[in-house]
Structure 1
Amino acid sequence: MLTEGEVRALTALHGEQTVSELATNLDRSLSYTSELVERLETAGLVETRRQGKTKQIRPSGAKALELLTDLTQQYSHIDWPELLSGATLRVCYYLDTPRTVTDLSRHADVHRSTVHRALAPLQHRGIVYQTDDGAYTLNDGFEQLSTFARELAHHVHRQTAEEQTDTYTILWESLDEFIVQTTTEIIEEHFIPTGPDQFQRYDLPLLARDRRYYLYSETTSELSPEMLCCHMLVIDSGARAQSYCLLLLSHVDIDRDVLRAHATKYDVEDAVDELCTYLDTSGDQRTSRLPEWEDFQELAEEYEVTL
């Protein structure tokens, strides 16, 4: 997310400075500092302007910087740049709730040994502690560390989206991925089309909308029906969207274990469980947002889906 040098530059940058002044504060070469500034400017974390032959730099208005400033001012005795380098911020992203090393490793997508290396100095300084059941959690007063990591990831996602479109809404996000709604067609390879339009891939032509939906992911290359179902519930949890998900689950060979794993990832576990229970009981167990079984049978017949 950020290197030690980038964090150190951000914590050393107060108000407006020249690159030369920042280099002096960091005790680093002018060329090294210039490279840092370029990376931070590209990331939208600093702003620059020319004043004669010098380049003036100042922090941007990113909320993540406000959180970092509050953290470093409140605990000025802690060397935050050293602590937050490497994978530590990735781990802190998921310390919004107590988690075991195994959970942190899986969520942050790093090795267990990396999690241990990230947690050890935090535990030594009393920033995190281990509960009786083996989970790690942030001590009182340090909860904003996870908030900072999350806000920083959100800032990166916004920068990524704004490179492709001016108007957008992020509907869901994790550390490395997000689902975005926009009216703009995006053809960049890491933006995978999802949402109602993709039901056509399974012979379920839904009504076209002006809005477009994309999953941004650098690791996912293909959208599975299990993922599409969960994305649809993230996009719209209303009665019509749930009926469309019922059609998809009935029409395509779905792996229930994979579906539930994705439901956990996208925070739609309850909705997915309700859909599965509805289908398993032929509508005998249904919530108010799910159709009467007879109505769903008519919808399925309309879309030529065999129940």
Structure 2
Amino acid sequence: MLTEGEIRALTALHGEQTVSKLATNINRSLSYTSELVERLETAGLVETRRRGKTKQIRLSDTKALELLTDLTQQYSHIDWPELLSGAALRVCYYLDTPRTATELARHADVHRSTVHRALAPLQHRGLIYQTDDGAYALNDGFEQLSVFARELAHHTHRQTVEEQADTYTILWESLDEFLVQTTTEISEEHFVPTGPDQFQRYGLPLLARDRRYYLYSETTNELSPERLCCHMLVIDSGARTQSYCLLLLSHVNIDRDELRAQATKYGVDDTVVELCTYLDTSGAQRTPRLPEWEDFQELADEYEVSL
């Protein structure tokens, strides 16, 4: 997320400084510091302006940097750049709740050994501890670490989408991915179209809307029906959307294990269980948002879906 040098520069910036002053403060060369500033400015974390022949630098107005400043001021004796460099911030993102090394490795997409190595210095300084069942957890007073990591990722996601669209809403996000709603058509390769329009790929043409939906992911090129279903429920979990998801689950060959895994990832576990139970019992077990079985049969006939 951030290198040690970048964090050191951010924590050393107080008010406005010149590049040469910042280089002195972080004990780095002028050329190295200039490169740091360029990267941080591109990331929207610092702002620069010319005053005569010198470039003045200051922190940008972002929630993540407010949190970092609070941490460094409250615990000025801690070498934060050293503790938070490497994979530490990636792991801290998922310490919003106690998690085992295996869970953290899976969520942060790193090896278990990396988790232990990244968290060992934080544990040594008393920032985190391990519970009786071996889970890592933040100590009281340091919960802000996870909030900082999340705000930093959110800032990065906003920077990414603002390069493509002026107006947007981030509907869901993780460390490396996010689901966004916009009225702008985005053709950049890492923005994968999702939402109602993608039902046409499965022979289920839904009513077109002005809004467009994209999954930003650097590792996903094409959506599975399991993921599409979960995206729809994130976008709108209303009765109409749930009926459309029922059509999709009935119409294509769904991997139930994959569906459950994606539902957990996107936080729609309960709704997906209700949909599957509804289909398995032919509507005998249904929630108020799900249609009567006879009504769903009519909708299925309209879309030529066999139940």
The TM-score, its normalising length taken from structure 1, stands at 1.00
Matched residue type, 2:251: H
Please state if 1:232 is matched with 2:232.
yes
Structure 1 residue 31 corresponds to structure 2 residue 26: no
User: Secondary structure of the residue that 1:14 maps to in structure 2?
Assistant: coil
**In structure 2, how many angstroms separate the alpha carbons of the residues matched to 1:12 and 1:51?**
20
Which residue matches 1:80? 80
Structural mapping, 1:252-291, within 5 Å:
252-291=252-291
3-state SS in 2 of match to 1:23: helix
- What are the equivalent positions in structure 2 for 1:13-162 lying under 5 Å apart? 13-162=13-162
**1:24 Cα deviation (Å)?**
1.1
Which letter maps to 1:95? L
How far apart, CA to CA, are the structure 2 residues paired with 1:150 and 1:257? 28
Q: Is residue 210 of structure 2 the alignment partner of residue 210 of structure 1?
A: yes
Instruction: Determine the C-alpha separation between the residues in 1 that align with 2:44 and 2:62.
Output: 8
Residue 300 of structure 1 aligns with which residue? 300
Secondary structure at the aligned position of 2:241 is classed as helix
Give CA deviations for 1:184-208 in whole Å, capped at 9, x if unaligned. Answer: 0000000000000000000000000
Provide the secondary structure at the position in 2 that maps to 1:24: helix
Q: Which amino acid aligns with 2:14?
A: H
CA distance in 2, matches of 1:213, 1:222: 14
5+ residue gaps, structure 2, are: none
Runs of 4+ in structure 1 over 4 Å off: none
Q: What is the CA-CA distance between 1:82 and the residue it aligns to?
A: 0.3
SS at match of 2:230: helix
Q: CA–CA distance in 2 between the matches of 1:253 and 1:218?
A: 26
Gaps of 5+ in 1: none
1:234-268 CA deviation, whole Å, 9 max, x = no partner?
00000000000000000000000000000000000
Matched, 1:196 2:196: yes
Q: In structure 2, what is the Cα distance between the partners aligned to 1:128 and 1:84?
A: 13
Sequence identity percentage = 88
What is the alpha-carbon distance in structure 2 between the residues aligned to residue 209 and residue 98 of structure 1? 41
User: Displacement of 1:222 after TM fit?
Assistant: 1.1
Which secondary structure state, in structure 1, belongs to the residue aligned with residue 272 of structure 2?
helix
Deviation at 1:28, TM superposition (A): 1.0
Q: String of CA shifts for 1:117-152, please: whole Å, max 9, x gaps.
A: 011111101111000111110000000000000000
Structure 1: how far apart are the matches of 2:31 and 2:52? 19
Residue 88 of structure 1: how far off its partner (Å): 0.3
Task: Identify which range, 262-271 or 23-32, moves more after superposition.
Answer: 23-32
Q: CA deviation at 1:59?
A: 0.4
